[in-house]
Structure 1
């Protein structure tokens, strides 16, 4: 489920978006993004948070947080480029990959590629 939240109702501080469970009874991910006039940036944030819902929803290991952010942002970058969105804001996140081992990078790239394909095929079907 994706909700675009009015800035006056936003309860997540400086974050542009969040992915969380809806309730204890219903563990379906809920993506919330703070509404803004820049629709391309809004779309990129939705894609980023939706990637978290697909890739990381059941992961609770806090030590992996930075790497999960990189994966979600890389998916947003790939999908955003495909859709013709300005993806220049992704550079900060993606720079965090510097120093990762080759086998770790290949594993992450496989997840990123598969998730981007899943989102794009869903969008193409609409």
Structure 2
């Protein structure tokens, strides 16, 4: 296995900080930040993820501020056509994480209390998907912490679900890493 260029660490405590603290820590961050870099593995990763999920990944003109969108019904992942390749890669991983983690509960009735909570709380779904994206990108040597940490923190409320989500985040991160690790 390839060694990550950056240590693989998930800062759960960062997700507990207030908005005021986030702004103090990350004054330049905004939800529309774009990475000005080239991601050489995007096309091959896209093919592998499309095959594994049965979803199509496409570029589209999305509403202002949105970098990606997942449609479970049409099995389509849309990525903002204004994204450069690195932002597009990170967004693709985020949206694929939604498919792996949340497709069943979005298309079928929840079967337990945690699934009911997932359906009700977008904050949990976003925190899980972005955490997977951060872990996968870090493993592949892509530093997206400047975007991911504040994004995760922006969705995190003082909730008690984090322990349940960490196992799901870890499992899906490993699934995606196994698909892409040799890129």
Give TM class, smaller chain.
0.7 to 0.9
**CA distance, structure 1, for counterparts of residue 147 and residue 126 of structure 2:** 13
Aligned-partner SS, 2:57: strand
In structure 1, runs of 5+ residues without a counterpart are 24-28
CA 41–64 in structure 1, closer or farther in 2 if over 3 Å, else same = same
Q: Segments of 4+ in structure 1 off by > 3 A?
A: none
**CA distance, structure 1, for counterparts of residue 122 and residue 83 of structure 2:** 28
CA 125–84 in structure 1, closer or farther in 2 if over 3 Å, else same = closer
Structure 2 length-normalised TM? 0.56
* RCO higher in structure (CA 8 A, sep ≥6): 2
The worse-fitting range, judged by mean Cα deviation, of 62-71 and 72-81 is 62-71
**CA distance, structure 1, for counterparts of residue 86 and residue 147 of structure 2:** 11
1:20–1:57 CA contact under 8 A, matched in 2: no
1:20–1:31 CA contact under 8 A, matched in 2: yes
- Give the number of the structure whose residues are more often helix, by fraction: 1
How many residue pairs get aligned? The number is 115
- Give the number of the structure whose residues are more often strand, by fraction: 1
Q: Does 1:38 align with 2:81?
A: no
1:40–1:86 CA contact under 8 A, matched in 2: no
